[in-house]
């Protein structure tokens, strides 16, 4: 449940509109390239906060196929996209969670990543 009325991501219209616009965000690929340079290829566990369709986690997994991933998302309209992205990848688990609340027990991570997501929160997870 969305307890933050200023967060529009539980609206299907808002969420699906973003899926259409996402690839047009200026300098997005440059930012992603910097992240790819900074996350070790030997990383074992990655947490992606506000994963949407899992784009960032999927990019990291290309060169880190053995890494375990948790793709965390709360929007019902978006969750199907994340589940579809990782449907055939047993190393990634899609977890439904609203980051306005403390994280569930997910174990330790070597990298916690997030793209265009945590600025929607009232406070850090
Ligand atoms: C602008 S999108 C970015 C998605 C993805 N990280 C990307 O780079 O394309 C923001 C994402 O954060 C998710 N999000 C926003 N508030 C959230 C919350 N409180 N808990 C979990 N996910 C949230 C939205 O549903 C959406 O998928």
- What are residue 114's phi and psi, to 5 degrees? -165, 140
- Per-residue pLDDT reduced to its tens digit, 30-62: 899 999 999 999 999 999 999 999 999 999 999
- What is the pTM for the complete model shown? 0.87
57 touches ligand 1 (CB under 6 Å)? no
pLDDT at 1 over 60: no
Position 11 in a domain: no
Substitution site in 11, 120, 124 for ligand 1 pocket (most atoms within 8 Å of beta carbon): 120
73 touches ligand 1 (CB under 6 Å)? yes
Encoded tokens for 59: 């990019």
| The residue to which tokens 């509109």 are assigned | 17
For ligand 1, atom 14, the nearest C-alpha belongs to 50
Please tell me the total count of domains within the chain.
1
- Per-residue pLDDT reduced to its tens digit, 63-119: 999 999 999 999 888 899 899 999 999 999 999 999 999 999 999 999 999 999 988
Q: State the residue range of the domain holding 108.
A: 27-120
Position 17 in a domain: no
Which CATH number fits the domain that encloses residue 99?
3.40.50.150
Position 8 in a domain: no
Encoded tokens for 44: 């074992």
């Amino acid at each position: 449940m969305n307890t933050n009325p200023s967060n529009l991501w539980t609206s299907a219209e808002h969420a699906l509109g973003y899926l259409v616009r996402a690839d047009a965000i200026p300098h997005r690929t440059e930012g992603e390239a910097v992240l790819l340079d900074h996350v070790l290829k030997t990383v074992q566990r990655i947490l992606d906060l506000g994963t949407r369709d899992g784009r960032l986690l999927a990019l990291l997994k290309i060169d880190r196929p053995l890494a375990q991933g948790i793709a965390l998302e709360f929007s019902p309209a978006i969750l199907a996209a994340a589940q579809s992205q990782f449907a055939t990848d047993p190393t990634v688990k899609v977890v439904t969670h609203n980051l306005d609340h403390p994280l569930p027990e997910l174990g330790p991570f070597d990298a916690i990543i997030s793209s265009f997501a945590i600025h929607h929160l009232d406070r850090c997870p």
